[in-house]
Amino acid sequence: MDEHDKRILIVDDEPQIRKLLRVTLQAYGFGIHEAATGEEGLKQASSIRPDLIVLDLGLPDLYGLEVLRRIREWSSAPIIVLTVKDREEDKIVALDSGADDYVTKPFGMGELVARIRVALRHAAHAVNEPVLSFGELTIDLVQRVVELKGVRIKLTPTEYDLLKILALSAGKVVTQRQLLQQVWGDQHGESDSHYLRVYIGHLRKKLEEDSTQPQLIVTEPGVGYRFRSRDS
């Protein structure tokens, strides 16, 4: 991926954070644009059409979630939200509102850069590919066939649907609510999360080398699950 032609919009009201992000990301070759308020962020998002947006949820004029929802009305650019540590509900609502990922403050720049690269790579490959490949795991979306090391893995319809949703969002967190609604329907909410634990457990036993220490389908505590591709 050529990072030198990728534009990143930083929407954060803290000058120190913006400076840290600007200096670091420019060193990696990204083109950086900045906004200190939600309204300014919305204007810049529509004018420069960034390849990725880093969005703080605690903005002085508009709540970051409102900015996120308004951008999602017309843009599919990856959005990584910055949120205060331990505000679990913010993470869940942000992901359900269209965020691609989240990083908690205070954060390490190495982690953020890695998340940015994964999000950009995922966006670049967001095409209708009939077969998804993750190392020795392949998922044929047309035939609904899953193979691991060349051996076909027998999955139930529910297990397959869960795996497909997670794999199509590889590198991103998918919330429990999103999985429950997409697999079981709108009548199921987070109170039915035991369904997920059971079926995720089944998938891990069939796909992981050690289901007690999963490397492929990882848990984001209190939030959901992340399908970890080789580069995420």
User: What does the pLDDT look like over 206-226, one tens digit per residue?
Assistant: 999 998 899 999 999 889 999
pLDDT of 112 reads: 93
- Identical topology for domains 3-124 and 131-227: no
User: What percentage of residues in the chain have a pLDDT greater than 90?
Assistant: 61
- Per-residue pLDDT, 1: 47
- Is the pLDDT reported for residue 116 higher than 80? yes
Give me the residues paired with residue 219 across strands. Answer: 225
pLDDT at 100 over 60: yes
pLDDT of residue 9 exceeding 90: yes
Question: What is the CATH class of 131-227?
Answer: mainly alpha
> SS3 letters for the chain?
CCHHHCEEEEECCCHHHHHHHHHHHHHCCCEEEEECCHHHHHHHHHHHCCCEEEEECCCCCCCHHHHHHHHHCCCCCCEEEEEECCCHHHHHHHHHCCCCEEEEECCCHHHHHHHHHHHHHHHHCCCCCCEEEECCEEEECCCCEEEECCEEECCCHHHHHHHHHHHHCCCCEEEHHHHHHHHHCCCCCHHHHHHHHHHHHHHHHHHCCCCCCCCCEEEECCCEEEECCCCC
- Alpha-carbon gap, residue 213 to 30, rounded angstroms: 35
Q: Which CATH class for the 3-124 domain? A: alpha beta
Per-residue confidence at 181, pLDDT binned at 50, 70, 90? confident
**Domain residue ranges of the chain, discontinuous segments joined by +:** 3-124, 131-227
Write down the number of H helices and E strands in the chain.
Answer: 8, 12
Closest alpha carbon to 112 in 142, 83, 92: 83
**Which range, of 19-23, 67-71, 82-86, averages the lowest pLDDT?**
82-86
What is the reported pLDDT for 185? 78
